[in-house]
Amino acid sequence: MPNNETLLDLEPYRIPQHVAIIMDGNGRWAKKRGLPRHAGHRAGAENLRRIINASVEFGINILTIYAFSTENWGRPEREVRALMKIIARVLDQELKELNAQGVCLHHLGDMTGVEQDLQDKVHNAIELTKNNNRLILNVAFNYGGRAEILHAVRQMLADEIAPETLSESLFSSYLFTRGLPDPDLVIRTSGELRISNFLIWQAAYSEFYPTPVYWPDFGRKELYEAIVAFNQRERRFGLVTETP
Ligand code: IPE
Ligand code: IPE
Ligand code: MG
């Protein structure tokens, strides 16, 4: 895809099929500039456009972004309200372009407790983009890994799954990510070195890439650098490397 930014050579590199991002550091990005936290969230939302474009350009097939956790409800009410407004606005402003780009939107999480209007926007976006196949964009919103596992267990009990038939792959098929491969690479911006309840089942063998860059500053070049770093990893999945 032509672009007017620096040419980044991806030729020698394997592209991770599924990249997941913990988009963290909006608050600190704003604080550093003497701005309120919601200004950081706005900048973070704007940054999504860059990362979606770069993901399409680099040939990533699945991008999963952590937008709002089940624990984030515990933040001050004003901040939660600002975040909901920003998420609704992103859907309003970006949907047409996302659809034109061939992005297929999925939601990971539970809609309970979310305002009806926002629920409707999300469902409409999923419906509109369901046949697109250039990039699957999973938005983890009101998402928690533990809540996801409980949700799966409840469904399995309701389906009367026999204990001896329960396998890892059957379990996976009850998660919000059903049908999708596990993430190859999990990126966390802002320098924190924890998983914060994100994809705790699916990321069992993902490569973890922490970067000190705050999310609003994590652009195309930074995503490229993460892919280069991913290529320097040796994924062993518990096995041993062949020695001559
Ligand atoms: C990430 O940025 C966005 C959400 C969690 C919704 P933060 O708001 O967590 O920013 P910091 O970590 O306080 O800097
Ligand atoms: C994780 O970031 C959640 C999202 C990015 C949506 P947090 O800022 O909520 O995580 P902690 O509190 O630092 O663990
Ligand atoms: Mg944070």
pLDDT digits (tens, 9 = 90+) for 140-161: 999 999 999 999 999 999 999 9
- Ligand with an atom nearest the CA of residue 66: 2
Q: Where are the domains of the chain?
A: 18-144+184-231
- Residue whose CA is at the smallest distance from ligand 2 atom 9: 72
What's the whole-model pTM score?
0.97
Assess whether pLDDT exceeds 80 at residue 234: yes
How far, in Å, is the centroid of ligand 2 from the Cα of 24?
6
DSSP string, 136-192: EEEEEEEE-HHHHHHHHHHHHHHTT--GGG--HHHHHTTSTTTTSPPPSEEEE-TT-
- CA of 39 relative to ligand 2 center, distance in Å: 17
Q: For ligand 2, is residue 68 a contact (CB within 6 Å)?
A: yes
Other beta carbons less than 10 A from residue 45's beta carbon:
21
- Which residue is it, tokens 């956790």? 69
Any catalytic annotation for residue 24? yes
Q: Is 110 a catalytic residue?
A: no
- Considering the candidates 3, 4, 9, 24, report the single residue annotated as catalytic: 24
- Grade residue 184 by pLDDT with cuts at 50, 70 and 90: very high
- Other C-beta atoms closer than 10 Å to the C-beta of 43 total 18
CATH 3.40.50.2020 fits 18-144+184-231, yes or no: no
**Strand arrangement, sheet containing 207-210:** 103-108, 135-143, 62-69, 18-22, 185-188, 207-210
Q: For residue range 93-151, list pLDDT tens digits in order.
A: 999 999 999 999 999 999 998 999 999 999 999 999 999 999 999 999 999 999 999 99
Please tell me the number of the ligand nearest to residue 192's CA: 2
